[in-house]
Each structure stands twice: as C-alpha cells, then as structure tokens.
Amino acid sequence: MSTIAVLGTLDTKGEEHGYVADLIRARGHQVLLIDVGTLEPPKILPDVARDVVATAAQADLAVIVARRDRGEAVAAMTRGAPVVLSRLQRERRIDGVISLGGGGGTAICTAAMRALPVGFPKLMVSTLASGNTAPYVGVKDIVMMPSVVDVAGLNRLSRRLLAQAAGAICGMVETAVPASAADKPVIVASQFGNTTACVTHARQLLEAAGYEVMIFAATGNGGRTLESLVEAGVAAGVLDITTTEWADELVGGVLNAGPTRCEAAARQGVPAILTPGCLDMVNFGEPASVPEKFRDRRFYQHNGQVTLMRTTPAENTELGRILAEKCNLSVGPVSVLLPLRGISVISAPGQPFYWPEADAALFDSWKRHLRPGIPVREYDGNINDPQFAELCVRELLSYLPVQPLVRS
C-alpha cells in the first residue's frame, strides 16, 4: 500500500479533491491531504493544514487572510508548498502526488512538484494543461492533464476525467520498474553542435569502460535538466564539456541555464570534468533579434534562425572567474581541462571566431581564481581533437570505480 499526497486549495476545490481522494482509497492506497487554500475555510479536513504550509514559507497566515490579497496568498503558498512536499518525500511519507487546479492552484502545486526528484510520480489536472506548460513543468516529469471543464464542482464529464486521473496516479505508484542486469552507472555530458565530435568520442570511450552516457544539448533547458538529474542522484559522474550556457547567462543570450548552472555536481560531490566548450559564443535568433547595442560585434550565422556572437576578452575574463567559483564549490573531485587551440569548431585557427587573446583571457582568469588543489590540465590542440576527448575521459575515470567488463 502506498501513500499519495492530494495537494490543493481545499477551500475552493475541496469537493473535487475529496472525490479523487476517495477513489484513491478505493484502490487500496492511503491519502495525505495537504491544504494550500487561504481565503475560505477548507471544505474537507486536511492532514497537513494550510498554516503548516504558510509557516514553511515564513509567512503569517493570519495576516494574509486578513488582507484577502489573492496574489500574496498564492505567492506564500508557492514558496511553502515545495518545502513541505519535498520534506514529506525525503521522509518517505508519500509515494506520489496529485493535484487539481486553475491558474492559482496550478502555479502553487506545480511549484511543489518541481521540488521533487525525477521519477517520483506527479500528476497535475489543470485548466492550463492544453497551453504552454513549460513554466509549470520546468525540467521535471510532471504529467499535465487537461481538466477540459473548469475544476468547479462535479458533473458527468469532470467525474469521469477525475476518476481517470485518480487511476493514473495509482497506476504510477503501483508500477515498479523492472530491474535490469544491463543497468550501468550513468555519466551525464553536455554537448553543442560545435563540440559534438569531442562528446561523441568521449561517449564511445565511456561506454566501452562500462558506463551509460546521457547527453544533454547545452540549450538552456538541457543544462537545467542535466543539473536536476545530478541533484536527483542519477549521475555517477559529469562530463561538462560544453559550459556555453554561462556565456548566454552573462552577456544576455537566449540559451542561458540560470545562475546555478555547474553547481549540482559541486554541491553533491559528484566527480566532474569541466571544459570551456563553446564559451566563445553567445546565442541569438535570426539577425534582426540581436540587440542594437551589439551591432559592432563579431558574428557568425549558424543557420537562418541562429546567430552566434563572439565573446570578448573582457567577457571571457568574467566567465573564467564565474567558472572558477563554481569549481571552488566542489566537495568532491573536479578537474578543469583547457584546449589551448580552440574551444569550438569555429574558434580553431583559421576559423571565424579564432581569437587567441579572448581564449587566453578565459584560461588565465579561470586558473587565477581557482582554489588550490583543483587540477588543471592543458592540451595543446582543439577541443574536438580525439586526444582531448581521451584526456577528459581518462581524467574522469580516474575518479570513478572500475566497472566489470560484460562479456557477450
């Protein structure tokens, strides 16, 4: 028997959450009702009261109720619900979560779901599920189910859809993933078109060494997903060849992954290799989308929809400092590997972004700000040379257990 959290605004949507809870109990599971409503008394008795959620957000529920400010109420519960739900998951008190909501409820409850690890069952029945769900899902595996009708009372259509939603979350918690003797430790790696040759060769070497390699495109969402999987404990090691998202974060490109990129492995103690892959470029859309302030910069038209802008020595000096600070957070093994003759295909000698002074500014700053004890390996060649990939793999494997060879 599993315990499923039924999370929602039990003042405005208590009847609907109670209906789903009853269906879950009928399937033989326990229910933990969590109330994130604020404006009216809950219509059903919760197991986790709203004041507990408000306290987790360091908010005064009495003040919020007195003001009757819906925006303030939603903001407080959006902060508190992730704290409460993640604590329940860590304590193994819940095995899955389901919620029903409109705009406010969806914002609150998906924020809570995003605090849970990948693989933990999460289902959101929402009036917003047929539109752009990216802000609600983020990089997590939240199942968004359209409510079709508003979550506003029970009728012949809503009863059917909510019954199916209850069956879905029960099925998710009841389903065990079959064990596989072929499962191998996972290495996560970052890649761009301009570092594909390097990562492809590295992947082949790591697979031959007994590891499974998951590759993520360094397009913002890819970097965030990589970080979330490391946080979830999925990765045995990180091959962060392509740290380019930091160039977009610093300069204002469109493929940034946020200010915590390159922190997950450091904080979790997961062995990691970092290289400056594609830090020579900032990404924009078509040429007309490039901000006017950059009109005098050096550009390369990757395709009709992607315009690349070369990073300058000043920007690279700052990028080196930032990457060093991320490395300095490491509580586990980490190495920095620097290819001295080009950090992408197009920054190699003779290519459009060849600018050795800019690369040198990046390398010098990274080394200068790095704390003692973190190894730096320099390679006198391009990032896409097979020898550089081999150097990265050897360095990472030196931090990892030797895997037994599987004979076919």
Taking the CA atoms of 37, 39, 44 and 50 in sequence, report the sign of the dihedral they define. Answer: positive
Beta bridge partners of 338: 378
Domains of the chain as residue ranges with CATH: 3-174 (3.40.50.12020), 186-397 (3.40.50.12030)
Q: Across residues 149-170, what is the average pLDDT?
A: 95
Please give the average per-residue pLDDT across 10-34, as a whole number: 97
pTM of the model: 0.76
pLDDT at position 408 over 80: no
What are the tens digits of pLDDT across the range 366-378? Answer: 999 999 999 999 9
Q: Which of 35-44, 294-303, 313-322 has the highest mean pLDDT?
A: 313-322
pLDDT beyond 90 at 73 = no
Structure tokens at 350: 């003779």
Q: Answer yes or no: is pLDDT of 326 > 70.
A: yes
**What gap in Å lies between CA 304 and CA 234, rounded to an integer?**
37
Q: What value does the mean pLDDT take over residues 135-153? A: 92
**pLDDT-above-90 percentage for the chain:** 85
Tell me what the mean pLDDT of segment 367-394 comes to: 98
Q: What is the strand order of the sheet 281-284 is part of?
A: 281-284, 306-310, 299-303
**Gap between the Cα atoms of 309 and 253, Å rounded:** 9
- Judge contact between 341 and 351, C-beta under 8 A: no
pLDDT over threshold 80, residue 395: yes
Mean per-residue pLDDT for 152-180? 92
What pLDDT, on the 0 to 100 scale, is given for residue 105?
Answer: 94
Helical H segments across 30-91, by residue range: 50-56, 61-67, 70-90
State the pLDDT confidence band at 180, using cuts at 50, 70 and 90: low
Q: Is the pLDDT of residue 339 over 50?
A: yes
Confidence at 405, pLDDT banded by 50, 70, 90: low
* Confidence (pLDDT) at 40: 87
Q: Which residue has the higher pLDDT, 406 or 270?
A: 270
Give pLDDT, residue 152.
87
Q: What is the pLDDT of residue 385?
A: 98
pLDDT mean over 294-323: 96
231 vs 266, more confident: 266
Task: Give the pLDDT confidence score for residue 178 in this predicted structure.
Answer: 79
Structure confidence at residue 64 (pLDDT): 80
| Residue 71, amino acid | G
> Burial of 210 by CB count in 10 Å (0-12 exposed, 13-18 middle, 19+ buried)?
middle
Q: Which residues pair with 124 in a beta bridge?
A: 99, 144
Q: In three state form, how does the secondary structure of 297-364 look?
A: CCEEEEECCEEEEECCHHHHHHHHHHHHHHHHCCCCCEEEEEECCCCCHHHCCCCCCCCHHHHHHHHH
Q: Strand pairing of 281-284 and 235-240? A: unpaired
pLDDT at position 301, please? 93
- Least-confidence region, from 61-65, 119-123, 357-361: 61-65
Distances in whole angstroms, Cα of residue 374 to Cα of each of 218, 274, 401 = 24, 11, 20
Per-residue pLDDT at 406: 46
pLDDT digits (tens, 9 = 90+) for 108-126: 999 999 999 888 999 999 9
Task: Give yes or no for residue 407 having a pLDDT over 50.
Answer: no
Percent helix, strand and coil across the chain, each to the nearest 5: 40, 20, 40
Q: Is the pLDDT of residue 269 over 70?
A: yes
* Averaged pLDDT, 341-351: 97
pLDDT for 358 beyond 50 = yes
Q: Which of 96-100, 151-155, 367-371 has the lowest mean pLDDT?
A: 151-155
Q: Which residue has the higher pLDDT, 160 or 304?
A: 160
Percent of the chain with pLDDT over 70: 98
Least confident piece of the model among 38-47, 55-64, 178-187, 375-384:
178-187
Residue 249 — pLDDT band, cuts 50, 70, 90? very high
| Predicted pLDDT at 182 | 63
